[in-house]
Amino acid sequence: MAETHGLVIVNTGNGKGKTTAALGMGFRAWGQGLRVLVIQFIKGNWKYGELKAAEKLAPDFVIRQMGEGFVKHVKSDGTADHQGAAAEALQMARDEITSGKWDMIILDEINYAVKFGLVTVGECLELISLKPAGMHLVMTGRDAREEVIDRADLVTEMREIKHPYKQGIKAQKGVEF
């Protein structure tokens, strides 16, 4: 079997599917016997379908919701809550990346956390530098910074062409959550 070269993978762009693609990659990795951890920087306090699936795949596929929920304009009253949650998620990411327990770690919406000032680009780069050689690190979210893109091995940009929400169709169970 070939030696594992742990990749840094970034899913970004304004289109739907960044988290879904990362979870699909995690599911594939789990199917190959790899241990997968997903740390969600924004999502929290909502019951997504993937949480139920992960419960059945545990202990080798784990999702930890660390966020305070969707952040549109974090410069409002909830800023301290979002910043505290992001700081906890960031520390958990540091601890888990260096723990040796995981073959793949997905940092869901970390790029979005950077965009809203909850995490610095320097902290993202630090996480990349902490990554062991054989571990895959996946970072999702809109507006990935150039510095992160430059350090990545694989970058995919999801581009919105058409979205049902713009036609007045609300989020659908099994598709958006």
Among 42-51, 138-147, 161-170, top mean pLDDT goes to 138-147
Average pLDDT, rounded, for the chain: 91
Query: Tell me: the pLDDT tens digits for 65-117?
Result: 998 665 554 455 457 777 888 999 999 999 999 999 999 999 999 999 999 99
pLDDT for position 99: 98
Give CA separation, 58 vs 35, 61, 86, 94, in Å. 9, 5, 24, 21
Bridge partners of 140, per DSSP, are 11
pTM comes to: 0.91
Report the CATH architecture of 8-67+78-158: 3-Layer(aba) Sandwich (3.40)
Neighbouring C-beta atoms of residue 19, cutoff 10 Å: 21
